[in-house]
Structure 1
């Protein structure tokens, strides 16, 4: 499942005009950099179609859209990227129905290796104006227009702040020991592995979590894979949040001002305070896209906020991703 929302000129338009049943789902990225204060984007040329386009490809089984976007850029141009703001998805008709392609912005200054000549035979960094002329498909200009608008608005350079609800735990009703020791269920263990793969898309270098076992177990696969720095906050437990919600909110405020890619893992009853704190750093239209009804997020589901990298950090986009459904 994917839900995205952005602000101002970045508002997501879910239909590029294809209509009909979504038969093919794909994802990709618009890689960008700034050289001599000039925005540049990375185009690829595909010999099979003799066209200029963006790196993209079809979704693999069990893969989320963000994971697909990162994998396709790595496979087609050899670049390891971190996703930034979501860009407008495009749709267009294909033989089997409608193809839908989700795009993200991805800042990178790395030079792609020489293409293999099979899937991609040429790559080109160029200004958006040149890219507009070279792009073979009109629909591919839509995400570029959004990227340029974000650059002009100062909201293209961002860092990610993720909120992750812990994966499915063993039932509360059947647990007789300390609440903080309640472990993940078998489904929850699979969700934790899927969440780790999803988190790789944004590479949070810090993990902030409740000390209760089910939260620690949820983020452990990611921590083991990346050796991210971990900080435990008692204010993120259900019990401490019930007594002192203001301390929970203070943790969120500190994360926004820290300006470091981070994932926070906590419990369902804590989410309203977390979301309210995040809403204070968004325009009202974007805040209105946050979940407002219990359970807010499904077990193992994540909210991804992109925070502007300027002097006055504010959240400029919100996405929801559920990497595993049992």
Structure 2
């Protein structure tokens, strides 16, 4: 039996501290034979599972998932909808593994040969029978259910609050020129790494310096196109919040992956507009109280690729705080 074999039940473990945090993904594709998922074989344990691994120091959980998928099967792909995490016991205590769906668009897969010696595409029913860890079935069932509802194939719209800026009290020049604090500059670098988990190639930002500086490391690293929208500034939002909402609605209409960088005072309007595209149980996942998001924090809204402008999943993350 491998060291990470399931020895506990699959219910939550209230009050028990997590000893090991890991992340991974279920790669999927939809072809003429229907939905297929990718299993990996690990020679060290002689088992079938999903690509996953332990979180590294200085890493967020989404970053860990993307890295592990790349290292184990040679796939660079953005994360799709979140899937239920699983909990089980290992020698050091309780382990949690966070999972996402990852769409494979004809990409060639290259198992690393050491940790993964082979891969197998198969239907979900067959995968459920082959999985060595029974708890790995739960995220698979969630993925299959999302596919049946038309909510598996998605695109992300990310709402980002700019990183920490210099205090207003210490800034006497134009408000739009107030820069990031030293802490904010470090946050911007961390934001740049976190955004690569979804890798939107479009950025729509308030033209004020602290927003532009927050997305700059990501734009430089990826070549993502940056568009400045006056409707996302504090002043424009204060005068005409409808224009702020209109910026968000236009991005929903375009149905292309995008990150929106704006200011704390504009967040209630931005989130309220997005809430019009989601069911009540997802609205409840949106931040609802001041300050809504901390500096550098983001909300990920996954919208179905059905053309119906429908949010099907919501997540919230902070960049790694050093």
TM-score bucket of the superposed structures, by smaller chain: over 0.9
Aligned to 1:196: 192
List gaps (5 residues or longer) in structure 2. 1-8
SS at match of 1:83: coil
Question: 1:140 aligned to 2:127?
Answer: no
Aligned to 2:78: 82
What aligned pairs does 1:97-176 form with structure 2 within 5 A after superposition? 97-176=93-172
**Are the aligned partners of 2:180 and 2:210 in contact in 1 as well (CA < 8 Å)?**
yes
Aligned to 2:201: 205
**Are the aligned partners of 2:74 and 2:112 in contact in 1 as well (CA < 8 Å)?**
no
TM-score calculated relative to the size of structure 2: 0.95
SS at match of 2:96: strand
Pick aligned residue for 2:30 from 22, 34, 39: 34
Q: Partners of 1:245 and 1:313 in 2: how far apart?
A: 21
What aligned pairs does 1:1-326 form with structure 2 within 5 A after superposition? 16-17=10-11, 19=13, 20-36=16-32, 38-326=34-322
**Are the aligned partners of 2:301 and 2:313 in contact in 1 as well (CA < 8 Å)?**
yes
Deviation track 1:52-98 (CA, whole Å, cap 9, x = no partner) reads: 00000000001011110010011001111110000000000112110
Aligned to 1:12: none
**Are the aligned partners of 1:18 and 1:93 in contact in 2 as well (CA < 8 Å)?**
no
Shift of 1:121: 1.0
Q: Partners of 1:112 and 1:17 in 2: how far apart?
A: 36
List gaps (5 residues or longer) in structure 1. 1-14
**Are the aligned partners of 1:16 and 1:89 in contact in 2 as well (CA < 8 Å)?**
no
SS at match of 2:321: coil
Segment drifting more, 115-124 vs 87-96:
115-124
Q: Partners of 1:302 and 1:122 in 2: how far apart?
A: 36
**Are the aligned partners of 1:47 and 1:119 in contact in 2 as well (CA < 8 Å)?**
yes
What's the Cα RMSD here?
Answer: 1.2
Shift of 1:113: 4.0
SS at match of 1:285: helix
Shift of 1:41: 0.3
Q: Partners of 1:324 and 1:175 in 2: how far apart?
A: 27
Shift of 1:205: 1.2
Q: Partners of 1:250 and 1:18 in 2: how far apart?
A: 41
SS at match of 2:320: coil
Query: What count of residue pairs does the alignment treat as equivalent?
Result: 312
SS at match of 1:207: strand
Aligned to 1:3: none
Aligned to 2:5: none
Q: Looking at both structures, which has the greater relative contact order when contacts are Cα pairs under 8 Å and sequence separation is at least 6? A: 1
**Are the aligned partners of 2:71 and 2:112 in contact in 1 as well (CA < 8 Å)?**
no
Shift of 1:237: 0.5
Q: Partners of 1:116 and 1:210 in 2: how far apart?
A: 42
